[in-house]
Amino acid sequence: MATQRYVLLIRGINVGRAKPLSMPVLENLLRRLHLQNCTTYLRSGNAVFDAGATSADQLESLISDALFEAVKFRADCFVRTSDEFTDAYLGNPLSEFVTDAAKMLVIFLPRAVPAELFARFDPRDLDPHHVALRDRAIYQWCPNGVSQSPSVVAFLERNFAVSATARNYNTVQRLVELLAK
């Protein structure tokens, strides 16, 4: 059976004391789901793995349900194929700004947001020169640091009723490197 390489991003774990999840527990959970070559990165719910003929949507549901069974809390899971994730990294429309990768965010969405929603609620209005849109990713350059920049994630959740998760460019780059192993 052919396998596909994936990236998993879990939203909101290990932030302060909320939703604690150790990475060895996450790796074991992924292995129990028969996912192979599992590697986690940092404590924020990043992992790469191989899976057989399963869609990213199915993997999101499968992992989210297994996570709830294992640790008794819900956390949104975002799964991207290797190609999708690498494209999100390489296709950054704000790449010319990246002088400090820790200040560049890639915000992942669970699905493409309809154009009519963007016409009514455009996150670029928060910071027109530092926010750019793509299909299921939004890019934000935070020249004064993430904490000093408008929260695009909160804007998306409030106006689009979708969950979103952000990773800085250092993390995205490292996950792309792990995908290649």
Q: Which residue has the tokens 């590697």?
A: 39
Distance, in Å, from the CA atom of 6 to the CA atom of 122, rounded to the nearest integer, reads 29
pLDDT tens, 17-49?
778 899 999 999 999 999 999 999 998 899 999
Once rounded to an integer, what is the mean pLDDT over residues 155-178? Answer: 94
- Domains of the chain (ranges; CATH) run 4-82 (3.30.70.1280), 85-179 (3.30.70)
pLDDT of 2 over the 90 cut: no
Give the CA distances from residue 121 to residues 63, 113, 162, in Å, rounded to whole numbers and listed in that order.
31, 11, 13
Residue 107: C-alpha distances to residues 30, 68, 174 (Å):
23, 24, 16
3-state secondary structure (DSSP) of residue 99: coil
Answer whether residue 1 shows pLDDT above 70. Answer: no
Rounded to the nearest 10°, the torsion over CA 37, 173, 87, 129 is: 150
Cα 174 to chain centroid distance, Å, stands at: 13
pLDDT at 162: 87
- pLDDT of 29 reads 96
Give the whole-angstrom CA distance, residue 14 versus residue 56: 23
Predicted pLDDT of residue 119: 87
